Structure 1
Amino acid sequence: MVRYAKDHKQATKQRIIETAGRRFKRDGIDGSGISTLMADAGLTNGAFYAHFASKDDLVATTIADQLRTQHKNICEQAAPGRAGLEQIVREYLSPWHRDAPDDGCPSAALLDEIGRTTGTTKQAYTDGILLLADEIATRLAPRDPPSARAKALGIIAQLAGTLQLSRALADRQLSDQLLEQGIQDALTLIGTERNG
């Protein structure tokens, strides 16, 4: 019997989580069975239960990981303050993000399914989305972030809804126009709108 170091087990678990994140966003939570997820990760089905108690456990863990990663990327890549918010909006509502759901936002890809999940997954999503909302609120109202939390959640909702609709449209030109309108609408909410 081969024994692996603790860091090997954690690395394997992280590989499953990252693979599940891409698959969930591409095929949905319900459309992603354990066999497919484990094959994607290059592992056997039996290895799944060494890391997760159930698929619900994997879903909650994956959603939390996806949102933590999204928050980390925003904090590391976006400029501070409102200028950073404009950068976030433009990147979020870009044709690249629309066309790459596997690598994109879990909210835009999975929100409807998350609403039908267990309490554990909903809590993981709530915790993760509040982390993002609080980052946005801090940029909106640096002196009183809690006062801007609801507005930040509204901005997140507007961005995710715009991205979802842009992905659903068959007409690429119309989809591009929607993304541009979404940018302008979000910048108006943020208070950094451009004239002209």
Structure 2
Amino acid sequence: MPYTKAHKSKTREIILENSFRLFSVKGFKGVTINDLMNNCGLTRGGFYAHFSSKAELYREALKFRASRTKLAGLKPEGTSNEEWLALLLNKYLSLEHVKGERSLSCPLAFLTTDINMQNKEIKAAYADTYHGMNTAIMEYASSYTDCDEQDILSVTAMMIGAVAIARTLQDQDSIERLLSACRREVGLKLGGI
């Protein structure tokens, strides 16, 4: 008896979530389809019911994770754009994010060093996610400050870079100082939030 669409969709989500986690730790080349499917408790054959290649899975995992970040979520009712953006930036530039808390893990920061070795489709998905981040921040920030595209580009570069660098540091005090300095600079750039 064939699986239902709901079962297939749920299985696909499990594969995407687990693959993002593995790719962010081991990189594209460090993860095999067997590793991935074993991690999900599934067989290798089941992989091909969802994806045609590991490269397709990598691209889809990047988009899946990006769609589930707080920045992609809706602003709570009764929260100003400035309050929401301040909350998002503080969460992004946090120790929990650096450590890979599931609800925060941004593919831009977690895959930044691995993405350059990928094919054009994967690089395009990464670029789309990056542009989406810039657009979302600009929408919130433009409602209360006169920041421009250059401000937003420098803010997102600082945020992504800070998290990527912090993930390589071993000393928690150094990580916290880096994140604190970037929160301050990003806040100043976005109207003192």
| Residue number in structure 2 paired with 1:20 | 19
| Residue number in structure 2 paired with 1:142 | 143
* Cα distance in 2 for residues equivalent to 1:130 and 1:140: 15
Q: Does 1:97 align with 2:97?
A: yes
| Residues 28 and 110 in structure 1, CA contact (< 8 A), matched pair in contact too | yes
Secondary structure of the corresponding residue to residue 177 of structure 1: helix
* Cα distance in 2 for residues equivalent to 1:12 and 1:132: 27
| Residues 70 and 88 in structure 2, CA contact (< 8 A), matched pair in contact too | no
Count the aligned residue pairs.
Answer: 191
What is the percent sequence identity of the aligned residues? 26
Normalised TM-score (structure 2):
0.88
Deviation at 1:100, TM superposition (A): 2.3
| Residue number in structure 1 paired with 2:185 | 185
| Residue number in structure 1 paired with 2:88 | 88
* Cα distance in 1 for residues equivalent to 2:132 and 2:167: 25
Q: Does 1:35 align with 2:34?
A: yes
| Residue number in structure 2 paired with 1:67 | 66
User: Which segment drifts farther, 161-170 or 99-108?
Assistant: 99-108
* RMSD of aligned residue pairs (Cα, Å): 2.4
User: Which segment drifts farther, 169-178 or 65-74?
Assistant: 65-74
| Residue number in structure 2 paired with 1:56 | 55
Secondary structure of the corresponding residue to residue 87 of structure 2: helix
Normalised TM-score (structure 1):
0.86
Q: Counterpart amino acid of 2:29? A: D
Deviation at 1:115, TM superposition (A): 2.1
Deviation at 1:118, TM superposition (A): 1.1
**Is the alpha carbon distance of 1:76 and 1:42 closer, same or farther for their aligned partners in structure 2, counting shifts above 3 Å?**
farther
